[in-house]
Amino acid sequence: MLHDPLTGLPGHALLLDRLEQSLIRAHTRGTLVTLVLITAPDSVLDAAKVLRAGLRPDFTVARYGDQALAVLAEHDFGDGSPIAELIRQLVGESPRIHWVTSDGDTEPDDVIATAESR
């Protein structure tokens, strides 16, 4: 599904495509990609609205699963901890937040698996 009907956000398939493109850009430009997974927010719809309003417009906020959202961010340096912390401030303490940063030398499935395992 390209767009989630509940939130209007990109769906899982579009997230995977954007992740793949972001990893290619990171590899060729020497930048980084951070993927943040937000699982079990109190309300997916409310969390989606807060994230979309509170994050930079070039970050991708997507529906990752029934009770999960994802944020995809491209950046020049550092790790994903400032991005993950900003997301925690926006959505509160109740959801679980998992994140991983890649320099583009990782396959999309591996990035997702690493984020899920943290």
Rounded to an integer, what distance in angstroms lies between the CA atom of residue 111 and that of residue 23?
A: 10
pLDDT at 105: 96
pLDDT of residue 85: 95
Domain limits, the chain: 12-117
Residue 2 banded pLDDT, cuts 50, 70, 90: confident
Three-class SS state of 66: coil
Distance of CA 46 to the CA centre of its chain: 16
pLDDT of residue 40: 80
pLDDT of residue 3 exceeding 90, the answer is no
- pLDDT score at 58: 96
Residues facing residue 37 across a β-bridge: 70, 98
What angle do helix axes 108-117 and 12-29 make, rounded to 10 degrees? 110
Q: Is 89 exposed, middle or buried (0-12, 13-18, 19+ CB in 10 A)?
A: exposed
Q: Please tell me the predicted confidence (pLDDT) of residue 72.
A: 98
pLDDT at 25: 97
For the segment(s) 12-117, the CATH number from 3.30.70.270, 3.40.50.720, 3.20.20.450, 3.40.50.300 is 3.30.70.270
pLDDT digits (tens, 9 = 90+) for 22-54: 999 999 999 999 999 999 878 999 999 999 999
Q: Quick one: pLDDT at residue 113?
A: 95
Largest CA distance in the chain: 38
pLDDT at 1: 64
Residue 111 contacts by C-beta under 8 Å, 6 or more apart in sequence?
19, 23, 33, 35, 100, 102
pLDDT in tens, 62-101: 999 899 999 999 999 889 999 999 999 999 888 999 999 9
